[in-house]
């Protein structure tokens, strides 16, 4: 592998930043790298999956005349350098290689899904990324495992639905490989990248899996009910009984005041009407104009 890399890039002179910028520019992953105080080394990184583009979405989003996986998108890798052109195959390589990062050997990834994201995934992503870097249900605490069994969802769909995070770490290891040839057993030693995951203890799954209480709608009065009847028949709750009782009294007094004013206006209107009825009527000819 090239110096400083823990994978073989598909193009020469590429680095981890190249693949990270691909996932950032396509809004596929949100990254955040964190270090300890007074340290230049990255201790752990956040990796929030926002979407995984399909081949059709790649071509559709970038509106080129020739819509193939080799449709190229222009991205800027670093300030002051010319942009590079990437294809859908570079996008796939970004997913395959991005997590093979170490700074130095104590680095770990905090991985989760964006809430309410689309839960249909490209076939290559399930085979190349999820099977290698996804969690296993053995790390789930008992309540989470119980919920997982009860819902009968595939592990990927369950983790994405509830945005369940996991901690991922990898390291180099050597393992023996026994090759059988006729009557002889030849033992080889090969270098591997061993990937492990564990549960994130700060995840509040009790809130996530708590049953949702239905929202109670207040009973509204019918159109035939008067406001006075509604206020008079109101049954205040025990926690706000004193406040509601005072409010009801104020409203009843206001209603009584309005009704008195209404009766007074009616009496005045009747008096004016009676005076008008006793006045001789005025007959206008067809040629008269009323101004």
What is the number of helices (H) and of strands (E) in the chain? 10, 7
- Segment 27-39, tens digit of pLDDT: 999 999 887 777 6
Greatest mean pLDDT among 22-26, 127-131, 226-230, 278-282: 127-131
End-to-end CA distance of the chain: 102
**Maximum distance among all Cα pairs of the chain, rounded to whole angstroms:** 136
pTM, two decimals, is: 0.64
- Segment 243-260, tens digit of pLDDT: 566 667 777 777 777 777
- Reading the block at residue 76, the tokens are 């800027």
CA dist 186 and 198 (Å) reads: 35
Q: Find tokens 């670093």 and name the residue.
A: 78
| pLDDT for the residue 84 | 79
Q: Find tokens 């929202």 and name the residue.
A: 215
- Segment 175-221, tens digit of pLDDT: 888 877 777 888 888 888 888 999 999 999 888 887 766 555 555 55
CA dist 49 and 159 (Å) reads: 12
DSSP classification of residue 6 = S
- Positive or negative, the CA dihedral 48, 52, 58, 61 is negative
Burial classification of residue 200, based on how many CB atoms lie within 10 Å of its CB (0-12 exposed, 13-18 middle, 19 or more buried): middle
In sequence order, the 6+-apart residues with CB closer than 8 A to the CB of 110 are 44, 45, 46, 47, 165, 167, 200
Compute the average pLDDT of residues 227-252: 59
Residue 177's DSSP bridge partners are 188
| pLDDT for the residue 288 | 44
- Reading the block at residue 60, the tokens are 């559709």
| pLDDT for the residue 73 | 73
- Segment 277-286, tens digit of pLDDT: 554 444 444 4
């Amino acid at each position: 592998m090239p110096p400083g890399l823990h994978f073989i890039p598909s193009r020469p002179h590429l680095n981890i930043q190249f693949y990270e910028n691909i996932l950032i520019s396509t809004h596929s992953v949100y990254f955040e790298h964190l270090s300890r105080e007074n340290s230049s080394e990255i201790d752990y990184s956040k990796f929030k999956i926002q979407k995984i583009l399909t081949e059709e979405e790649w071509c559709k989003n970038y509106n080129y005349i020739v819509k193939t996986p080799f449709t190229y998108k222009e991205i800027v890798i670093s300030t002051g350098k010319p942009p590079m052109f990437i294809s859908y195959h570079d996008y796939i390589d970004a997913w395959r290689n991005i997590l093979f990062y170490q700074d130095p050997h104590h680095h770990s990834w905090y991985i989760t899904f964006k809430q309410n994201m689309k839960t249909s995934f490209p076939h290559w992503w399930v085979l190349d990324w999820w099977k290698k870097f996804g969690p296993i249900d053995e790390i789930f605490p008992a309540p989470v495992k119980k919920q997982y069994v009860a819902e009968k969802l595939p592990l990927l769909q369950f983790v994405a639905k509830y945005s369940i995070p996991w901690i991922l770490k990898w390291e180099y290891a050597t393992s023996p490989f026994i090759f059988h040839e006729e009557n002889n057993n030849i033992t080889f030693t090969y270098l591997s990248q061993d990937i492990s995951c564990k549960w994130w203890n700060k995840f509040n799954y009790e809130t996530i899996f708590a049953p949702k209480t239905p929202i109670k709608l207040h009973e509204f009065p019918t159109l035939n009910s008067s406001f006075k009847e509604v206020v008079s028949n109101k049954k205040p709750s025990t926690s706000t009984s004193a406040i509601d009782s005072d409010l009801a009294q104020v409203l009843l007094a206001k209603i009584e005041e309005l009704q008195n004013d209404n009766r007074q206006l009616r009496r005045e209107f009747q008096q004016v009407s009676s005076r008008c009825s006793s006045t001789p009527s005025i007959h206008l000819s067809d040629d008269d104009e009323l101004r």
